[in-house]
């Protein structure tokens, strides 16, 4: 007998061992080995699933660096997709930092040096006019989630050009591992429009287009061709825009959000995970969202996206929208964003440009505005210095400190700094992981405000319901769904997000809540089931080998 994969080609023997979707390495049964021409091509030992995972864990432990572990896991994915996801899902708290942040940042910087086997689609400016044709080269016919980047603003690392492909690849691994979106339904895409990073252009191992970035109308037309080609090839797919520069991220979302099923995780996903953290913090402080004042260090699309969702949450509580906006303040490279700066401001900053005298120092802004929470989305390492944290502790009994920039090297402060400089009173969450902190006999478990709590669940809900559009209300529902799973015991340890060890179950619960909101809004492409929980869970991928004979 032979394996017949989706493309209809028969696979046996060595060809089967080179097919990551069907390869079982040493886990093929005696019957499968006989029937599929594998005798002699494998050692005689037959692995159980537990032994397979144990062998990978052994190999991971022997690698001397996280980048080495990333390379090992990538090779495993290329060889045995099911085992790759079984390993990730066996201990997500351990493996998420290896396949995504913070390790993926270094992996992107080194992408041209470490790549073994290409993954995903590369649509370059050189191939304009052929994007729909190129999509026919992808072997899967029912893609439901595309993560696309142009590599211009990778994490806090800047323009990495085609090296940024590591981000869509890593994100989609988490769609599957954390929420059960089937891997065959996902597609990473790189829009290679060149790079302005001279170091990359001078690197003989760089694999992207060696030209300056395409801009203006030519850029807009290229994105339009991609969106049209994706919609034509995969009419049920959702497009996630990822790591685009602010100059493109905000306009692209505004242009496409009402036309196709799409979202921007840097704007909307970051907003939802921040709001989830604030909702959990409210349970510690004991008041309402509308009682707080938020000061952002950084005034890009991430900051305004968080502010917009905070405003939506406050309006849901009963606040008037202008009053809610007055509770959100931005601080950028020129100081406090105020109305007096007028036309110098980007359009997305203007709703938060309030009447106020200029303030050029962040500590002075804290002392003047007396914010209850500071949220760092600046990519300025250690910008929340001792003076900043101490100022927050002076004006708040329980200051909320969220250094959300990542990777870790760009975090505005560490967990240890936040707890020490606030005398253990900070409610802390960061964009990158930090180890537990001992302070005056107490152990604090820092939360990670990682978008992984949001985008996989959103994707699973969209996949299950075949949603036609993605609205901001879905992200507010996701934030609430995450926050409600934080236990009193979690809060007592300082943790304001559910433990990452249970991320799969957390994500499915959030996905069910979001799916309900999709049906309520009339956005679903399928009839509403009687049992929504069973419906969503029935769609979820689990890492089990396919039956071959």
Rounded CA gap, 261 and 235, in Å?
9
DSSP structure string for 466-513: T-S---HHHHHHHHHHHHTT--HHHHHTT--S--GGGHHHHHHHHHHH
Compute CA distances 494 → 1, 172, 244, 351, whole Å.
56, 30, 33, 33
Rounded CA gap, 345 and 336, in Å?
12
Active-site annotation holds for 175? no
> Using an 8 Å Cβ cutoff, are 472 and 464 in contact?
no
Kindly state the tokens that stand for 261. Answer: 């099923």
Rounded CA gap, 424 and 416, in Å?
9
DSSP 409: G
> Using an 8 Å Cβ cutoff, are 232 and 248 in contact?
no
The closest alpha carbon to 19, from 32, 33, 1, 6, belongs to 6
Rounded CA gap, 507 and 504, in Å?
5
Rounded CA gap, 474 and 311, in Å?
15
The residues, any chain, with a CB within 8 Å of residue 76's CB and separated by 6 or more, are 56, 83, 84, 87
Rounded CA gap, 325 and 313, in Å?
11
Secondary structure class of 211 (helix, strand, coil): coil
Element (H, E) at 448: strand 447-448
DSSP 454: T
Rounded CA gap, 119 and 542, in Å?
21
Catalytic residue among 171, 349, 509, 539: 171
Active-site annotation holds for 352? no
Residue 94: how many CB atoms within 10 A of its CB?
15
Name residue, tokens 């089931």: 529
Strand locations in 154-250 (E): 186-192, 238-241
The radius of gyration of the chain from alpha carbons, rounded to an integer in Å, stands at: 24
Name residue, tokens 């886990």: 27
Rounded CA gap, 149 and 167, in Å?
8
Catalytic residue among 70, 100, 256, 352: 100
The closest alpha carbon to 241, from 269, 219, 216, 215, belongs to 269
Rounded CA gap, 311 and 317, in Å?
10
> Using an 8 Å Cβ cutoff, are 348 and 250 in contact?
yes
Strand 447-448 versus strand 121-124 pairing type? unpaired
Rounded CA gap, 459 and 471, in Å?
13
Residues annotated as catalytic (active site), given as ranges:
100, 171
């Amino acid at each position: 007998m032979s394996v017949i994969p989706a493309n209809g080609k028969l696979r046996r023997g060595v060809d089967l061992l080179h097919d990551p979707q069907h390869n079982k390495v040493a886990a093929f049964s005696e019957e499968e080995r006989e029937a599929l021409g594998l005798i002699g091509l494998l050692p005689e030992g037959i692995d159980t699933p537990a032994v397979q995972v144990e062998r990978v864990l052994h190999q991971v432990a022997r690698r001397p660096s996280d980048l080495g572990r990333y390379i090992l896991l990538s090779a495993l994915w290329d060889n045995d997709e099911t085992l790759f996801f079984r390993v990730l899902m066996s201990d997500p708290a351990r493996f998420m930092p290896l396949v995504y942040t913070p390790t993926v940042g270094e992996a992107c910087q080194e992408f041209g040096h470490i790549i073994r086997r290409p993954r995903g689609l590369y649509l370059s400016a050189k191939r304009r006019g052929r994007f729909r044709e190129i999509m026919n080269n992808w072997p899967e016919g029912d893609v439901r989630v595309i993560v696309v980047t142009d590599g211009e603003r990778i994490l806090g690392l800047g323009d990495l050009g085609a090296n940024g492909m590591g981000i869509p690849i890593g994100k989609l691994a988490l769609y599957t591992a954390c929420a059960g979106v089937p891997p065959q339904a996902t597609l990473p895409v790189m829009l290679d429009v060149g790079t302005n990073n001279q170091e990359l252009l001078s690197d003989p191992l760089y694999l992207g287009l060696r030209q300056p970035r395409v801009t203006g109308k030519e850029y807009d037309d290229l994105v339009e061709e991609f969106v049209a080609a994706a919609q034509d090839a995969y009419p049920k797919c959702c497009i996630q825009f990822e790591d685009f520069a602010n100059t493109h991220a905000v306009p692209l979302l505004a242009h496409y959000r009402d036309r196709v099923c799409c979202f921007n995780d840097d704007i909307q996903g970051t907003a939802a995970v921040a709001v989830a953290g604030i909702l959990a913090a409210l349970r510690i402080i004991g008041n309402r969202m509308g009682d707080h004042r938020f000061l952002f260090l950084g005034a890009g699309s991430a900051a305004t996206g968080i502010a917009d969702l905070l405003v939506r949450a406050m309006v849901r509580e009963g606040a008037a929208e202008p009053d809610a906006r007055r509770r959100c303040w931005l601080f950028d490279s020129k100081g406090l964003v105020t109305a007096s700066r007028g036309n110098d401001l980007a359009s997305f900053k203007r709703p938060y440009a309030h009447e106020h005298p200029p303030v050029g120092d962040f500590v002075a802004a804290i002392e003047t505005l007396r914010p209850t929470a500071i949220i760092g989305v600046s990519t300025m390492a250690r910008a929340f210095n001792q003076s900043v944290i101490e100022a927050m502790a002076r004006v708040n009994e329980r200051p909320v400190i969220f250094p959300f920039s990542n990777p870790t090297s760009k975090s505005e402060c560490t967990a240890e700094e936040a707890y020490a400089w606030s005398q253990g009173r900070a409610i802390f969450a960061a964009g990158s992981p930090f180890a537990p902190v001992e302070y005056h006999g107490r152990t604090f478990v820092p939360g990670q405000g990682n978008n992984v709590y949001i985008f996989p669940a959103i994707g699973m809900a969209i996949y299950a319901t075949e949603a036609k559009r993605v609205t901001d209300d879905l992200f507010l529902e996701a934030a609430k769904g995450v926050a409600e799973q934080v236990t009193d015991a979690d809060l007592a340890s300082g943790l304001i997000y559910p433990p990452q060890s249970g991320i799969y179950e957390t994500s499915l619960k959030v996905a069910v809540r979001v799916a309900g909101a999709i049906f309520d809004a009339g956005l679903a492409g399928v009839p509403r089931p009687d049992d929504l929980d069973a419906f969503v869970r029935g769609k979820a991928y689990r890492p089990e080998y396919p039956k071959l004979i």
